[in-house]
């Protein structure tokens, strides 16, 4: 009898623990994400560059590195893809709030001009990356940042599983622009998608704004 009581008590405590854990996850998801992500951003960006992070974007031409960085959540560039008549704002960070505004820049990747991989994401609804699958090999993609203009040429695309992190290589010695959205791109149809449409483009030129 005592063993049965202990088992019931254990099961009850376990159920209570799962309940409070679920409450915590929901609170984080809906209330704390936007507050916590700037600190995650700081850690991720430092891990990539090993440097201190400042607020305003300034570019060191010789080092090909930003001296200071845009604050989390701020718009620092405009993405232009003339072949699909697309012009969108680019923000530092990729949380839910940012992705409602435009293109999000994954904080664990490099910035334009830093000679490393850049990872951009946006929803596939109308007005954002709804025509990303219409970009063709050879098309030009321009990023007009606050510190200069950078041009890339589309090389290939892939349709990958959402869990396939190998599709987003963070290279440290070659500037590769990667842009992705949920796949399939069903305009007007909501719901979780298990695949991603990824566009890869290599840098072909830049025009740095000198101070």
Look at the block and give the residue holding tokens 């999000």. Answer: 104
Q: Which of 25-29, 150-154, 174-178, 200-204 has the lowest mean pLDDT?
A: 25-29
C-alpha dihedral over 178, 184, 187, 190, to 10 degrees? -100
- Taking the C-alpha atoms of residue 65 and residue 74, their distance in angstroms, rounded to an integer, is 19
Look at the block and give the residue holding tokens 């400042």. Answer: 54
More confidently predicted of 132 and 1? 132
Residue 106 near residue 91, CB atoms below 8 Å: no
Residue 37 near residue 29, CB atoms below 8 Å: no
Residue 126's pLDDT band, with cuts at 50, 70 and 90, is confident
Query: What value does the mean pLDDT take over residues 33-59?
Result: 46
Query: What value does the mean pLDDT take over residues 129-148?
Result: 96
Task: Note the pLDDT tens digit of each residue in 1-21.
Answer: 555 555 555 556 555 555 555
Residue ranges covered by each domain of the chain: 47-208
> Which positions are annotated as active-site residues?
123, 182
Please state, in angstroms and as integers, the Cα–Cα distance from residue 7 to each residue in 16, 21, 33, 157, following that order. Answer: 14, 21, 37, 54
What is residue 46's predicted lDDT score, i.e. its pLDDT? 38
What is residue 8's predicted lDDT score, i.e. its pLDDT? 56
Which of 118, 136, 133 lies closest to 203, judged by CA?
118
Does the pTM exceed 0.85? Answer: no
> For residue 48, what are its two tokens?
């990539």
Please state, in angstroms and as integers, the Cα–Cα distance from residue 176 to each residue in 19, 31, 36, 43, 151, following that order. Answer: 44, 34, 28, 22, 11
User: Residue 38 above 50 pLDDT?
Assistant: no
CATH superfamily of 47-208: Sortase (2.40.260.10)
């Amino acid at each position: 009898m005592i063993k049965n009581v202990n088992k019931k008590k254990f099961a009850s405590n376990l159920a209570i623990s799962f309940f409070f854990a679920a409450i915590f996850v929901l609170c984080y998801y809906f209330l704390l994400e936007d507050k916590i992500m700037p600190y995650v951003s700081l850690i991720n960006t430092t891990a990539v560059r090993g440097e201190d992070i400042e607020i305003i974007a300034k570019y060191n031409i010789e080092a090909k590195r930003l001296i200071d960085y845009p604050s989390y959540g701020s718009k620092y560039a405009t993405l232009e893809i003339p072949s699909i008549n697309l012009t969108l704002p680019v923000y530092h960070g990729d949380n839910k709030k940012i992705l409602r505004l435009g293109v999000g820049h994954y904080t664990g990747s490099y910035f334009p001009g830093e000679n490393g991989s850049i990872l951009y994401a946006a929803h596939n609804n109308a007005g954002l990356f709804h025509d990303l699958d219409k970009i063709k090999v050879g098309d030009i993609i321009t990023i007009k940042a606050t510190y200069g203009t950078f041009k890339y040429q589309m090389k290939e695309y892939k349709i990958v599983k959402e869990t396939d992190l190998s599709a987003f290589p963070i290279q440290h010695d070659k500037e590769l622009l990667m842009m992705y959205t949920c796949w399939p791109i069903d305009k007007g149809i909501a719901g979780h998608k298990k695949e991603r449409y990824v566009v890869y483009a290599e840098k072909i030129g830049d025009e740095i704004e000198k101070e």
